[in-house]
């Protein structure tokens, strides 16, 4: 199957306290892939958990304190990358934003909730990454534990190549295809505006004044009403401009 690249960053630009075990370490053993490939990333209670990659939510179980027990506690959130070929499972969280629901688009860096402490267990995020579409249609866990340790407490973005042939993912290797700009997310819109020369300020996925000004400038260049809102005809024009420049886009 064709390899692909996905931009990945740490779920903890702040608050990270250290790794508590990755795939095949401690209790992370076969036969269940979602246990075998678990990555426990320590953080102080209440630390914001950020999305590690662009995705859409496929399953969400909000935190119900009455059901917390043993190793199963906190909200459970399943996400799939825009190409549906890679996904992540996050748990041991609380305070998931009420705006998030099944089908919601999530941009890398968006807040998913906060770290939950329970029953004396060192507070941490449990994260599992998988690929889909492997031979036989089976999901397969992948090991990005060292990448998350190396990128913690920073906003470093690493393109990871998923080879789809049974070999491990290759952080920073490239070669899985050109970057795709996901215009279904505000972060992707900001990235597209920036490469076209319209400065949205910090690429943060937030609809601030700099982003609206950049959208308005782009709209002016396209003969559109400069209202600062990137939707409808403006989004189509942005996708067309990116395609004309040789960039790949999706989400329109």
In the chain (252 residues long), the average pLDDT of successive 10-residue segments reads 83 91 88 87 95 94 94 93 90 95 93 95 88 60 87 84 76 63 82 87 81 95 94 94 85 72
One domain, residues 116 and 26: yes
Strands 124-131 and 48-50: unpaired
CA 167 vs CA 170, 176, 230, 232: distances in Å: 9, 13, 39, 41
pTM above 0.85, yes or no: no
What residues have CB less than 8 Å from 238, skipping those under 6 apart?
183, 189, 192, 193, 196, 218, 230
- Domain finish residue from 121, 143, 171: 171
What residues have CB less than 8 Å from 66, skipping those under 6 apart?
none
One domain, residues 58 and 164: yes
Distance between CA atoms of residues 17 and 19, nearest Å: 7
Ranges of beta strands (E only) in 116-206 are: 124-131, 140-142, 157-162, 170-171, 180-182
One domain, residues 83 and 194: no
One domain, residues 135 and 227: no
One domain, residues 16 and 133: yes
Whichever domain contains 11, its CATH number is 2.70.70.10
* The predicted structure's pLDDT at residue 186: 83
One domain, residues 44 and 61: yes
Distance between CA atoms of residues 240 and 184, nearest Å: 14
One domain, residues 56 and 89: yes
* The predicted structure's pLDDT at residue 176: 54
One domain, residues 66 and 151: yes
Asked if 80 and 116 count as a contact pair (C-beta separation under 8 A), the reply is: no
Distance between CA atoms of residues 24 and 26, nearest Å: 7
| H or E stretch covering 134 | none
* The predicted structure's pLDDT at residue 237: 95
40 exposure class (CB count in 10 Å sphere: 0-12, 13-18, 19+): buried
Distance between CA atoms of residues 143 and 145, nearest Å: 6
* The predicted structure's pLDDT at residue 132: 65
Give the domain extent around 64: 4-171
* The predicted structure's pLDDT at residue 134: 42
Specify the length of the chain in residues.
252
Domain count, the chain: 2
Distance between CA atoms of residues 113 and 97, nearest Å: 6
Strands 248-250 and 180-182: parallel
Whichever domain contains 194, its CATH number is 1.10.101.10
């Amino acid at each position: 199957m064709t390899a692909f690249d996905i931009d990945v960053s740490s779920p903890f630009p702040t608050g990270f306290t250290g790794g508590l075990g990755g795939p095949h370490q401690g209790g992370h053993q076969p036969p269940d892939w979602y246990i075998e490939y678990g990555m426990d990333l320590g953080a102080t209670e209440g630390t914001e958990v950020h999305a590690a990659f662009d995705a859409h939510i496929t399953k969400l179980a909000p935190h119900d304190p009455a059901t917390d027990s043993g190793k199963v506690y906190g909200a459970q959130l399943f996400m799939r990358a825009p190409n549906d070929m890679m996904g992540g499972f996050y748990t041991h969280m609380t305070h998931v934003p009420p705006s998030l629901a099944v089908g919601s688009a999530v941009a890398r860096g968006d807040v998913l909730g906060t770290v939950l402490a329970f029953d004396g267990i060192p507070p941490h995020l449990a994260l599992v990454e998988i690929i889909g579409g492997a031979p036989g249609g089976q999901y397969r866990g992948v090991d990005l534990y060292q990448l998350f340790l190396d990128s913690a407490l920073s906003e470093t973005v690493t393109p990871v190549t998923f080879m789809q042939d049974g070999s491990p993912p290759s952080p920073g290797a490239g070669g899985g295809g050109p970057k795709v700009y996901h215009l279904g997310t505000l972060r992707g819109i900001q990235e597209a505006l920036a490469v076209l020369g319209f400065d949205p300020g910090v690429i943060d996925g937030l609809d601030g004044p700099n982003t609206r000004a950049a959208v308005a400038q782009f709209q002016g260049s396209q003969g559109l009403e400069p209202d600062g809102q990137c939707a409808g005809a403006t989004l189509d024009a942005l996708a067309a401009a990116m395609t004309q420049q040789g960039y790949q886009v999706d989400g329109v």
